[in-house]
Amino acid sequence: MHDSSSSLPRGVGAPAGAGWNHPRTALSLPEVHGTVPVPQTRSFWKKLLAFVGPGFVVAVGYMDPGNWATDLQGGASYGYTLLSVILLSSVMAMFLQHLAAKLGIVTGRDLAQACRDHYSKPVAIFLWLLCEVAIAACDLAEVVGMAIGLQLLFGIPLVWGCLITCLDVMMVLYLQNKGFRYLEAFIMALIGTIGLCFAIELWLAKPSLVGVLAGFAPSPEILRNREMLYISIGIIGATVMPHNLYLHSSIAQTRRIEPTPQATREAIRFATIDSTVALFGATFVNGAILILAATAFHTSGHRDVANIQDAYQLLSPLLGVGFAGALFAVALLASGQNSTVTGTLAGQIVMEGFLNLRLRPWLRRLITRGIAIVPAVVVIGLYGEGETTRLLVGSQVVLSLQLGFAVVPLVAFTSCRKKMGEFANAPWLRCLAWFFAALIVFLNVKLVFDAFFG
């Protein structure tokens, strides 16, 4: 058991212990908590630079291989129509990540710790199990995505590619031990690689500007068409990830700030700028994948292309450029490698937060990766490599089904004045937050109803 109750800093939102059923007993990610100094200067840009990083770590989860499968399928099948879903899910993501960062900065608790300190033990364990399922689903997408990338670039069979992904545990742990800033820099470099690859792909594809702009307008057909709704919820699940809320509420505390209302307010503002800018980048990548699929496949009559491998094979001949497929594969490999960081940190945060239990990071990582590798290898072995895309889309729907169980507590905590003090959500913010939470729950209930009774 891990206990670091001594010398715990107070939250500044309310008096210590106020509004919680249990006192705080441990720091979130204690090895990196408060390790990044914030300069005591009036310069806006210097302070902002100190806070840049956590938002990009979180944004990685919004452009992982699971997004690729849902975005490719949505673009190839329905053209630009589902761009409105990407836009809506990105706006929700920016808003919810703001709440997650605020919870961590104000209360000194990550979302998992907040749930443990507020709910009864059975409820906390139930929420922990749901979150572990979500992390396993996310890791499954990363394993399959990296394996596909290795196959496309180097011809490595998918089963061996899945097993090779175990090796990333050493790299992640090495970077984390070097310092959280090194981890952030590595992630930002890979995000830049992904963004550059897709910027070139879009330039080569030359999509219809009118069609793209029209795609951002919501269509009622999305709710009427069950298959379109399934993909839409997969996009939301791939974009607004439940474990990212736990992650952001923790790593927002890596910055060393003074426990004063003014410093806290400033930290919330800079953390929000950081995550919003980073998520704009994720929105570009997700939109680019869908636009590329719509331009290259939907308009050319290849509307059944939902397989990443098929997309790779078709891109070069359809765009008339030999390296188009290679760019696609490089971006996929970078995306899968980048996303492993999210799963590692989120897994540690939820286990420590909900259970107050610490495992060695390498052991925790291998357990999480093993849970993801087994179903991937079994499905590929039994049903063949053609089922990998369906596995990716299904994993994103599983993620979406967990969303309400993370979003509702987050909104409730950040709206509670006893817990947050003067930093509690304003009435208009509270209404918007509950609207997003209700929308997420409604879409998920409709998906389950259609699946069983439609």
Q: Cβ(244)–Cβ(62) under 8 Å? A: yes
Q: Is 38 domain-assigned?
A: no
Tens of pLDDT along the chain (454 residues) come to 444 444 455 466 655 556 788 888 788 888 888 888 888 887 889 999 999 999 998 888 787 776 777 788 888 889 899 999 999 888 988 999 999 999 999 999 999 999 999 999 999 999 988 888 877 777 777 777 778 888 888 888 877 877 777 676 666 667 667 777 888 888 888 888 888 988 888 888 888 889 899 999 888 888 888 888 878 877 776 667 788 899 999 999 999 988 889 999 999 999 999 999 999 988 998 898 899 889 988 887 777 776 677 777 777 787 777 778 888 888 888 877 766 667 777 877 888 889 887 777 677 667 766 666 676 677 667 666 566 666 666 666 676 677 788 999 999 999 999 999 899 999 999 999 999 888 877 877 776 676 566 5
The angle that helices 242-251 and 111-118 make with each other, rounded to 10 degrees, is 100
Counted residue by residue, the chain has a size of: 454
The answer as to whether 25 is a domain residue is: no
Distance separating alpha carbons of residues 165 and 371, to the nearest angstrom: 12
Start-to-end C-alpha separation, the chain: 47
| Alpha carbons 384 and 97: distance in angstroms, whole number | 38
In a domain, 40, yes or no: no
pTM score, two decimals? Answer: 0.85
Structural domain contains residue 278: yes
Check the CA dihedral 334-281-103-271 and report its sign.
positive
Q: Is residue 37 part of a domain?
A: no
Q: Residues of 280-294 as b/e, b for ≥16 C-beta within 10 angstroms?
A: ebbbbbbbbbbbbbb
**Is position 183 within any domain?**
yes
Structural domain for 330, as ranges: 45-453
Pairing of strands 255-256, 36-37: parallel
Helix (H) / strand (E) containing 450: helix 427-453
CB 75 within 8 A of CB 297: yes
Task: Answer yes or no: is 7 within a domain.
Answer: no
**Domain of residue 116, CATH code:** 1.20.1740.10
In a domain, 302, yes or no: yes
What's the total number of domains in the chain? 1
**Among the residues of 206-323, which ranges form H helices?**
209-215, 221-224, 226-239, 242-251, 261-293, 308-319
What whole-number distance in Å separates Cα of residue 126 and Cα of residue 184?
32
Helix or strand or coil: residue 4?
coil
